[in-house]
């Protein structure tokens, strides 16, 4: 469906990185974008630059989401907000589980609950779920992140079933490593994270993800692009490990 057939969008995690780039891209297409994030100052700067409508909301606050969406008619929902804490479930803390479930999964479920029925009623809409290659492939660490993103992966497929017969499209975008500050947000040391995860690598940028979102949205209404993996050319997800009894796991 051409962009001209959509009027409004809601983007979470909008104050930085991929969310910020997605807001900018949709605003360029003339979409009225409701930008949702926790950081008020960054949202205000984004609004001044793009004309988006800022909402300083924590997506884990369900009542705030209810209040926000009560009177909104949204054509494009981009569930982008996410948080990750490194480590295996074997060493996880209660707060790490709660935070990731609240932001990565529960908020997505509630926003779909609040906004997708209106899309179905109007026979028009597009849900973009930004997950991760961690939703599909297993690799060491970040157990809770994997589990929550896999939940959104399953939800994305289920939404296609729930919206069957209506012109509501569902796209899941699964990025690999992208040159954003997410790694620094996880560790708390942005400079060290940039040196370890960004510097010297050939990586997709936030703009690349935003352009991918635009590509999926701009397809004809008869075309639903269901799942896109976007990774660095020099990155391969997955792997296989086998050990002998007595070997030390690495």
**Total H helices, total E strands in the chain:** 9, 7
Q: What residues have CB less than 8 Å from 14, skipping those under 6 apart?
A: 20, 22, 23, 35, 36, 37, 43, 46, 52, 54, 80
Q: What residues have CB less than 8 Å from 209, skipping those under 6 apart?
A: 18, 21, 22, 130, 173, 175, 178, 230
- Catalytic annotation, residues: 145
Q: What residues have CB less than 8 Å from 57, skipping those under 6 apart?
A: 36, 37, 38, 64, 65, 68
Q: How far apart are CA 17 and CA 119, in angstroms?
A: 27
* Intra-chain end-to-end CA distance of the chain, in Å: 48
């Amino acid at each position: 469906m051409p962009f001209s057939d959509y009027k409004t969008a809601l983007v979470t995690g909008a104050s930085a990185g991929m969310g910020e780039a997605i807001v900018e891209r949709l605003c360029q297409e003339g979409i009225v974008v409701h930008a949702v994030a926790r950081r008020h100052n960054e949202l205000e700067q984004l609004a001044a630059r793009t004309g988006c409508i800022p909402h300083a909301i924590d997506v884990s606050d369900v009542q705030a989401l209810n209040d926000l969406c009560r009177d909104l008619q949204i054509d494009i929902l981009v569930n982008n907000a996410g948080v990750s804490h490194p480590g295996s479930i074997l060493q996880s803390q209660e707060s790490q589980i709660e935070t990731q479930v609240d932001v990565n999964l529960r908020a997505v479920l509630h926003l779909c609950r609040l906004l997708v029925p209106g899309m179905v009623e109007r026979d028009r809409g597009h849900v973009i779920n930004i997950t991760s290659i961690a939703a599909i492939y297993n690799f060491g660490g970040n157990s809770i992140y994997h589990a929550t993103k896999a939940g959104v992966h399953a939800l994305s497929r289920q939404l296609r079933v729930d919206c069957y017969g209506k012109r509501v499209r569902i796209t899941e975008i699964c990025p690999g490593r992208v040159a954003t500050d997410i790694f620094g947000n996880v560790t708390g040391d942005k400079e060290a994270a940039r040196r370890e995860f960004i510097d010297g690598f050939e990586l997709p940028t936030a703009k690349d993800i935003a352009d991918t979102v635009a590509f999926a949205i701009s397809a004809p209404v008869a075309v639903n692009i269901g799942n896109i993996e976007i990774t660095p050319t020099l990155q391969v997800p997955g792997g296989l490990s086998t050990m002998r009894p007595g070997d030390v796991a690495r």
